[in-house]
Each structure stands twice: as C-alpha cells, then as structure tokens.
Structure 1
Amino acid sequence: MKGVYRLSGFFFLGLGTLGIFLPILPTVPLYLLALILLSRASKRDIVRLKRIPFIGKRIYPYIKRSVKYLRSWNTRSQSLST
C-alpha cells in the first residue's frame, strides 16, 4: 500500500509542477494532495520534501500537522468500527 501512496504522490507532484506552466491545472491542491500521499508513504519522503530549497522549511509544519490529523482520524475511525 505504501508503494501506491508513493507512486500516486509523485504523480500528483508532477501534475502540480506541470500546473505551474499550464493555467488549466490547479497547482496548490495538487501539491497538497501529493504532500498528504507522500507523508502517508514513509517518513523518508517527508524528509525529502523538507529538503526542497525555498519551500521545504515553509511547508514542513503543514505536513506534520496533516500527518498528525490523518493518523488521529484513522485511529478514531478504527475505534468506532469495532
């Protein structure tokens, strides 16, 4: 499952980058989706995103917050289903 998250995360990251040059594609929502998917894949991908020049340090707090929210949401939904 982690491979699917990683592959789709890089796919949406590429689409977001393409959206910089094509006004038809929305850039920010695709980047946010890519960040969430890559953060679900592994911690190593989060560190790679943090090392991106200029924006890595700015987006890292948002990544941490979204990962904490998603993990707490998953544990809540699992506890509700049992």
Structure 2
Amino acid sequence: LGETPLAIQYPSLYRIVQRREAFVATVLQSTPLNIQFRRTLIGNRWEEWLHLVSRLMEVQLSQQPDKLRWKLTRSGEFIVKSMYLDVI
C-alpha cells in the first residue's frame, strides 16, 4: 500500500499491535481480520484502523511470488549507472 511500509504509515497502530511480524496475507485470510492489539482502539487509533482496513479491502493478493523492482530505471532492473546518477 504505497511506497512505505505500513509500520511507517501507521506508527501508532504498529506500536500496539500484538504480532509485529505478521504478514498482510496472514491477516487478510480470515474474517474478522486476524490481528490483535495490546490496547483498545479509541480516538485517533480507531480512525487510523478504519482507514487502514478500507485500504486493505481493495487489495487483491495473488499466489505469484513477489518481485523486486528498481525504481531508478524504467525497466525495473538494477543498473549501476542509475544508482551512480542518483547518488551524484
């Protein structure tokens, strides 16, 4: 969901989640979602949770393996020159 990990996008939820190592796919496998928090979600945390869940409901996971994609080239493949140009 975006360019940054969910832990960075939702830090207040990440700080109180029971299992920080859980994969999104594992959480999405069951209804209700397979996730537990160490505290009750109230106020801003509740609003963040609702926002996150609404975003997750749009995700369609596949059985295909993940792929690495290099953002500095159009092809998505790593090229030393692209890294050099980005550094300078």
Task: Decide which structure has greater helix share.
Answer: 1
Fold agreement, TM-score > 0.5: no
Q: TM-score, with normalisation over the residues of structure 2? A: 0.29
| TM-score (normalised: structure 1) | 0.30
Could you say which structure has the larger radius of gyration? 2
